[in-house]
């Protein structure tokens, strides 16, 4: 019962609508006899109810029925609601891709701008590329702890969102095997990315911030349930990469400056795109770069002399990437035409982007020749640079530079399988039926079986208008967990997503999490180590 | 990638089934006839602007038609429909509040973050006492919503809970807070003590 001091406002309020139990009625009547303040409250609430109930009734527009019929027949809602806003114009420029073979150029002293580096780590200088010697000399990373983890080895966990759209969206992280859950707090939009720390103690995730066109980054400590808000970002391409250091101490992520106003509860980060670090040992976050066009890519799978090494990519017409020791002097040399590398679990290869980039309001995308590439084997001896990549898709031919503007990729645990999804293809379709490549498809293949092609599209069981949110490989390598977002059944309805486990042997997918009357949003998923 | 997924979600267009049977159409006609005026008035009091209310009411009934198969108990038609209307109105206010800032073509003023009064106050004043409208539109959207459902639509806490997706206890707490806030607003206007 809501008390205001010794007063019974909640009982008074409930009495006006007949929502009191007999005992509550007795209690209220008894209290009113001896409390003038509550008698005044009752009088005021009663007067207020009388005022509202006496409001005049307006006639609806005479054409409301016709408008509804027209909307039903056309299958569309009131037109202005559908107007897309904040769209980034993605398209190819007139320039032409010069060659498929990448010109890899080392440019020295990649500058991340003046930043407050995370402290407490030894300083180190690192090589720009994980050459064979670099890999051979690394010290073993701080491996996963032996403490029990929430998911357990190989266990599936997923984020689940329930509730009404405004102010009441509740996020949980659920262990599929046990059904145990950890409260991930109240959010204003669905989760779109998630990453489990190598020690299994932390979950980093990104949620949409309502319909603002922004995202929020969070870290959840699975042992004590503590939630840390790590910042807001424009929902720009290449901002959903969440990279954990091998020792699970640092989370690297990217924020693209967005000003939502004073009431949004989101302070604006730096202007443009910058890499940020969350230090789990201190609970502090800090920007790792401060130049407006830097993106957190990935940590080296193994630390160098116990110093975590973070790759940061610089967006520009010709992008580049460099490696930096966390807490070390910033002197990582950079590689040209390498953007957002993602290393295989054993560090032997990387998937990365190449192409010509264009800025749009502080965020970047590929405008010409954007293609995901697979590096060579960093362990192999020889004169060729392992960064001369092979296009991930073997049957896509950019015409006039029209290729992918953006997309996502992931490695399988076997260092062989890989996945690509949500590719925003700006060119003409490359199949006779005009459906390839399809942004709504997921392409899964392996290096040993010839990379990706139209035949690599996963056979998903989904509504025709579902879209790909995220993919995670199971630790045994036999399946992927696919999060499929569903278009809103009606504007204002809760967001909804299906989580499907898709076996890679071609057998039928099955759903995780089940559905309810108002289907929740299940996913993205992660797997325990 | 986050942006494309978000846009896919945002721009998703609803497809209304075209295979409606006569019985389905008759049921929908009954619902529209009975509830078009109440729903329009409900959303009008939520958003305070006749044009916006008409749009919201229109979309409410389109969505209701599409979801008609989910209405299995005719006795719950009212709460079912009000819930659709509520979600539609809230979403409209949220979009207007948050999205217009990103849209260079939008020429409407930005609504205050708390859902407070904007130009709709002036419009609403022609329909009800200006002081009441000012007080009502100053409330937080969820306070305004539950107060209208209770005092205008005469719903019980249980019924309000069905519309808002809340427990009976949560509705009682919310309603008490809303009454307290409305009391302060009306007192400031000299309408109650």
Question: Would the pLDDT of A385 be above 90?
Answer: no
| CA nearest to B140, candidates B175, B110, B169 | B175
C-beta contacts of A181-190 below 8 A and 24+ residues apart: A182/A150, A182/A220, A182/A222, A182/A225, A183/A225, A184/A159, A184/A218, A184/A220, A184/A227, A185/A218, A185/A220, A185/A227, A187/A161, A187/A216, A187/A218, A188/A216, A189/A215, A189/A495, A190/A161, A190/A485, A190/A495, A190/A497, A190/A521
Residue A372 pLDDT > 90, yes or no? Answer: yes
What CA–CA distance (Å, rounded) separates A401 from A364? 17
Query: Between B36, B95, B182, which is nearest A64 by CB?
Result: B36
The 10s digit of each residue's pLDDT in A252-271 is 999 998 777 767 777 766 77
Closest CA to A458 of A513, A393, A503: A503
* pLDDT score of B134: 80
Alpha-carbon distance of A184 to A458, in angstroms, equals: 30
Q: CB distance B90–A166 less than 8 Å?
A: yes
Query: Is B176 in Cβ contact with A2 (below 8 Å)?
Result: yes
* β-pair type (A320-325, A309-314): antiparallel
> Which neighbouring-strand residues pair with A314?
A294, A320
- Residue B123, pLDDT > 80, answer no
The answer to whether the CB of A273 falls within 8 A of the CB of A292 is: yes
Closest CA to A57 of B86, B4, B40: B40
Give, for A512, the enclosing helix (H) or strand (E).
strand A510-512
How far is A1 from chain B, CA to nearest CA, in Å? 8
What are the φ/ψ torsions at residue A63 (nearest 5 degrees)?
-95, 15
**What is the enclosing helix (H) or strand (E) of A232?**
strand A227-234
Whether residue B14 and residue A75 make contact (CB cut-off 8 A), yes or no, is: yes
Which of A467, A464, A463, A496 lies closest to A482, judged by CA?
A467
Q: CA of B120 to nearest chain A CA: how many angstroms apart?
A: 15
Q: How far apart are CA A508 and CA A59, in angstroms?
A: 54
The DSSP 8-state label assigned to residue A291 in this structure reads S
Q: From A499, A475, A474, select the one nearest A485 (Cα to Cα).
A: A499
| Per-residue pLDDT at A514 | 64
- Residue B1 domain flag: no
| Exposure of B168 in the CB half-sphere (CA atoms within 13 A) | 10
> Helix or strand or coil: residue A28?
helix
Asked if B62 and A53 come within 8 Å (Cβ–Cβ), the reply is no
Degrees to nearest 5, angle at CA A369 with A365 and A371: 80
Q: Per the domain annotation, does B115 fall within a domain?
A: yes
Identify whether the C-beta of residue A420 lies closer than 8 Å to the C-beta of residue A437.
Answer: no
Tally Cβ neighbours within 10 Å of residue A305: 13
Closest-CA distance of chain A to residue B150, Å: 7
Residue-level pLDDT at B6: 16
Cβ separation of A235 and B106 shorter than 8 Å? no
What are the CA-CA distances from residue A51 to residues B131, B132, B172, B180, B187 (Å)? Answer: 11, 8, 20, 15, 12
Q: Which chain B residue's Cα is nearest to A188? A: B94
**Measured between alpha carbons, how far is A386 from A21 in angstroms, rounded to an integer?**
75
Q: Tens digit of pLDDT for each residue in A92-121? A: 222 222 222 233 333 334 566 655 443 333
Each residue's pLDDT tens digit, B4-24: 221 222 222 222 333 446 677
Q: What is the DSSP letter of A136?
A: H
**Interior CA angle at A406 toward A402 and A411, to 5°?**
120
Residue B30 belongs to some domain of the structure: yes
- Model pLDDT for residues A68-90, shown as the tens digit of each residue: 887 776 655 543 322 222 222 22
Are A502 and A479 contacting, i.e. CB atoms less than 8 angstroms apart? yes
The pLDDT, as a whole number, for residue A383 is 61
* Bridge partners (DSSP) listed for residue B112: none
Dihedrals φ, ψ of B8, to 5°?
-60, -40
> Does B105 score more than 50 pLDDT?
no
**What is the C-alpha to C-alpha distance for residues A275 and A295, in angstroms, rounded to an integer?**
5
Closest approach of A495 to chain B, Cα-based (Å):
8
Which residue segment(s) compose the domain that B87 sits in? 24-188
Give the closest of A10, A86, A467 to B5, CB-based: A467
| pLDDT per position as a tens digit, A169-184 | 899 999 999 999 999 9
CATH of the domain at B82: 1.20.140.160
Is residue A67's pLDDT more than 70? yes
Among the partner-chain residues B147, B156, B166, the one whose CB lies closest to the CB of A19 is B156
**What ipTM does the predicted assembly reach?**
0.74
**Chain B neighbours among A 63-92 (CB < 8 Å)?**
64-65, 67-68, 71-78, 80-88
Higher pLDDT, A4 or A357: A357
pLDDT of residue B89 exceeding 90: no
Q: Is residue B33 part of a domain?
A: yes
Please give, one letter per residue, the 3-state secondary structure of chain B: CHHHHHHHHHCCCCCCCCCCCHHHHHHHHHHHHHHHHHHHHHHHHHHCCHHHHHHHHHHHHHHHHHCHHHCCCHHHHHHHHHHHHHHHHHHHHHHHHHHHHHCCCCCCCCCCCCCCCCCHHHHHCCCCCHHHHHHHHHCCHHHHHHHHHHHHCCCCHHHHHHHHCCCHHHHHHHHHHHHHHHHHHHHHCCCCC
Cβ–Cβ of A485/B9 closer than 8 Å?
yes
* Contact with chain B for residue A426, Cβ under 8 A: no
Query: Is residue B18 a part of any domain in this protein?
Result: no
Q: Is residue A242 exposed (0-12), middle (13-18) or buried (19+ Cβ within 10 Å)?
A: buried
What does the pLDDT average to over B30-52?
89
Nearest-Cα residue of chain A relative to residue B25: A69
Question: Is residue B6 in some structural domain?
Answer: no
How many domains does chain B divide into?
1
Structural domain includes residue B17: no
Beta bridge partners of A471: A482
pLDDT digits (tens, 9 = 90+) for A172-221: 999 999 999 999 999 988 999 999 999 999 999 999 987 778 899 999 99
A506 φ/ψ sector (left φ>0, alpha ψ -120 to 50, else beta): left
Q: What is residue A504's predicted lDDT score, i.e. its pLDDT? A: 93
How far lies A85's CA from each of A71, A88, A207, A493, B96, in Å? Answer: 22, 9, 19, 19, 11
Q: Could you tell me whether strands A442-446 and A417-421 are parallel, antiparallel, or unpaired per DSSP bridges?
A: antiparallel
Q: Which residues pair with A402 in a beta bridge?
A: A399
For the stretch A14-35, pLDDT in tens is 998 888 888 989 999 988 998 8
The full set of domains in chain A, from first to last, is: 9-53 (no CATH), 106-527 (2.120.10.30)
Task: Using the CB atoms, write b or e for A104-113: b if 16+ within 10 Å.
Answer: beeeeebebe
Q: How far is CA A413 from CA A49, A89, A477, A478, A480, in A?
A: 63, 36, 6, 10, 11
The DSSP result for A149-210, as a single string, is -SS-TT-EEEEEEES-TTT-EEEEEEETTT--EEEEEEESS-EEEEEE-TTSSEEEEEEE-T
Cα separation of A157 and A526, whole Å? 5
Residue B15 forms part of a structural domain:
no
Measuring CA to CA, which residue among B42, B46, B175 is closest to residue A49? B175
pLDDT-above-90 percentage for chain A: 41
Residue B74 has pLDDT above 90, yes or no: no
């Amino acid at each position: 019962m809501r008390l205001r001091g010794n007063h019974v406002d909640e009982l008074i309020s409930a009495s006006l609508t007949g929502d009191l139990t007999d005992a509550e009625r007795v209690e209220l009547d008894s209290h009113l006899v001896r409390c003038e303040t509550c008698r005044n409250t009752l009088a005021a609430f009663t007067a207020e109810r009388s005022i509202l109930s006496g409001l005049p009734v307006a006639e609806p527009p005479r054409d409301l029925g016709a408008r509804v019929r027209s909307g039903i027949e056309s299958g569309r809602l009131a037109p202005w609601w559908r107007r897309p806003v904040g769209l980034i114009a993605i398209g190819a420029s007139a320039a032409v891709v010069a060659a498929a073979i990448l010109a890899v150029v080392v440019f020295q002293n990649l500058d991340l701008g003046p930043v407050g580096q995370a402290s407490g780590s030894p300083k180190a200088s690192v090589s720009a590329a994980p050459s064979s010697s670099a890999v051979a000399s690394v010290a073993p990373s701080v491996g996963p702890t032996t403490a029990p983890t929430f998911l357990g080895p190989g266990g599936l966990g997923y984020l689940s969102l329930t509730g009404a759209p405004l102010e009441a969206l509740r996020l949980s992280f659920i262990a599929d095997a046990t059904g145990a859950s950890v409260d991930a707090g109240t959010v204003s939009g669905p989760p779109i990315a998630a990453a489990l720390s190598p020690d299994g103690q932390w979950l980093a995730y990104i949620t949409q911030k309502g319909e603002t066109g922004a995202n929020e980054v969070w870290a959840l400590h699975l042992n004590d349930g503590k939630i840390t808000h790590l910042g807001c970002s424009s929902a720009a391409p290449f901002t959903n990469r969440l990279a954990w250091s091998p020792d699970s101490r640092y989370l690297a992520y990217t924020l693209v400056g967005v000003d939502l106003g004073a009431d949004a509860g989101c302070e604006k980060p730096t202007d443009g795109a910058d890499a940020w670090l969350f230090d789990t040992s201190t609970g502090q976050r800090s920007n790792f770069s401060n130049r407006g066009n830097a993106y957190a890519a990935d940590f080296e799978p193994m630390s160098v002399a116990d110093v975590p090494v973070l790759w940061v990519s610089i967006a520009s017409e010709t992008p580049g990437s460099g490696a930096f020791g966390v807490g070390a002097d910033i002197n990582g040399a950079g590689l040209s035409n390498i953007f957002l590398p993602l290393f295989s679990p054993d560090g032997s290869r990387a998937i990365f982007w190449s192409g010509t980039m264009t800025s749009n309001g502080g965020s970047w995308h590929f405008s010409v020749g954007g293609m995901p590439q697979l590096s060579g084997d960093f362990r192999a001896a020889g004169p060729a640079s392992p960064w001369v990549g092979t296009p991930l898709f073997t049957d896509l031919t950019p015409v006039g530079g029209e290729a992918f503007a953006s997309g996502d990729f992931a490695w399988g645990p076997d260092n062989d399988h890989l996945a690509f999804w949500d590719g925003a293809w700006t060119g003409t379709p490359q199949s006779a039926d005009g459906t390839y490549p399809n942004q709504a498809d997921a392409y899964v293949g392996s290096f040993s079986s010839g990379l990706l092609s139209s035949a690599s599209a996963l056979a998903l069981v989904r509504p025709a208008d579902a879209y790909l949110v995220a993919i995670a490989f199971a630790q045994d390598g036999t399946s992927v967990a696919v999060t499929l977002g569903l278009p809103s059944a009606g504007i204002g309805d809760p967001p909804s997503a299906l989580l499907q486990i898709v076996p890679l042997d071609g057998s039928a997918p099955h759903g995780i999490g089940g559905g309810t009357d108002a289907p929740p949003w299940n996913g993205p998923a992660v797997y325990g180590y | 990638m986050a942006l494309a997924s978000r846009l896919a979600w945002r721009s998703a267009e609803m497809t209304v089934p075209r295979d409606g049977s006569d019985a389905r159409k008759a049921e929908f006609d009954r619902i529209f006839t009975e509830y078009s005026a109440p729903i329009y008035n409900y959303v009008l009091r939520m958003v305070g602007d006749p044009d916006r209310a008409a749009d919201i009411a229109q979309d409410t009934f389109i969505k209701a038609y599409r979801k008609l198969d989910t209405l299995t108990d005719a006795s719950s038609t009212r709460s079912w429909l009000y819930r659709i209307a509520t979600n539609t109105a809230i979403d409209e206010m949220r979009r207007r509040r948050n999205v217009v800032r990103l849209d260079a073509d939008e020429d409407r003023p930005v609504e205050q973050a708390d859902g407070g009064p904007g130009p709709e106050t002036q419009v609403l004043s022609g329909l009800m006492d200006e002081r009441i409208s000012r007080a009502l539109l100053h409330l937080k959207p969820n306070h305004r919503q539950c107060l209208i459902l209770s005092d205008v639509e005469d719903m019980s806490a249980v019924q309000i809970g069905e519309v808002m997706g809340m427990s009976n206890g949560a509705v009682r707490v919310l309603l008490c807070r809303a009454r307290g806030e409305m009391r302060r607003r009306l007192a400031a206007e000299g309408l109650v003590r």
